[in-house]
């Protein structure tokens, strides 16, 4: 498109009307089978949890984790040291522990470590 001096979206759309058929004739391949082999999504499949970024995180001793330069406080009692953070396409996120979603909140600072009293 640069070689043809195309500078706008309208010019690009006109160019594509002539270019795409030539491109498709050159590179298109016939499918091995003419049938449509797409299958319906199985019932109960949660594609929201499949199409996400999953990152394993380890707890600090104060039940906080760091993720994407933010600190999150886990608000439930858990018996493991690892969790799975899922970032979804809509911008939301969830934290999972052993297959269960746990509640959490973002905090600005990690809790202060309690000092033992010296007697």
Q: Do 89 and 53 belong together in one domain? A: yes
pLDDT of residue 79: 86
Sole residue written with tokens 């394993």: 56
pLDDT band per the 50, 70, 90 thresholds, residue 1: confident
Cβ-based neighbours of 78, under 8 Å, separated by 6 or more: 59, 63, 97, 98, 102
pLDDT of residue 37: 86
pLDDT of residue 33: 85
Say if residue 93's pLDDT is above 90.
yes
Q: With respect to residue 112, please indicate whether it lies within any of the assigned structural domains.
A: no
Q: Do 102 and 65 belong together in one domain? A: yes
CA distance 102 to 94: 8
Say if residue 116's pLDDT is above 80.
no
Residues of the domain holding 61: 47-107
Q: Do 103 and 78 belong together in one domain? A: yes
Q: With respect to residue 75, please indicate whether it lies within any of the assigned structural domains.
A: yes
pLDDT of residue 19: 94
pLDDT of residue 86: 97
Please say whether the dihedral angle defined by the alpha carbons of residues 7, 13, 17 and 22, taken in this order, is positive or negative. Answer: positive
Q: With respect to residue 117, please indicate whether it lies within any of the assigned structural domains.
A: no
DSSP annotation of 11 reads H
Sole residue written with tokens 């498709």: 24
pLDDT of residue 31: 85
Q: With respect to residue 69, please indicate whether it lies within any of the assigned structural domains.
A: yes
Q: Do 14 and 64 belong together in one domain? A: no
Say if residue 118's pLDDT is above 70.
no
What's the number of domains the chain is made of?
2
């Amino acid at each position: 498109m640069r070689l043809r001096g195309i500078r706008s979206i309208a010019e690009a759309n006109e160019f594509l009307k002539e270019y795409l058929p030539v491109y498709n004739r050159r590179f298109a391949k016939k499918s091995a089978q003419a049938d449509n082999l797409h299958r319906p999504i199985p019932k109960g499949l949660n594609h929201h949890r499949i199409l996400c970024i999953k990152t394993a995180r380890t707890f600090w001793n104060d039940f906080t984790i760091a993720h994407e330069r933010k600190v999150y406080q886990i608000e439930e009692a858990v018996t493991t040291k690892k969790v799975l953070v899922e970032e979804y396409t809509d911008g939301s996120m969830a934290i999972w522990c052993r297959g269960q979603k746990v509640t959490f909140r973002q905090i600005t600072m990690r809790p202060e470590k309690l000092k033992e009293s010296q007697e």
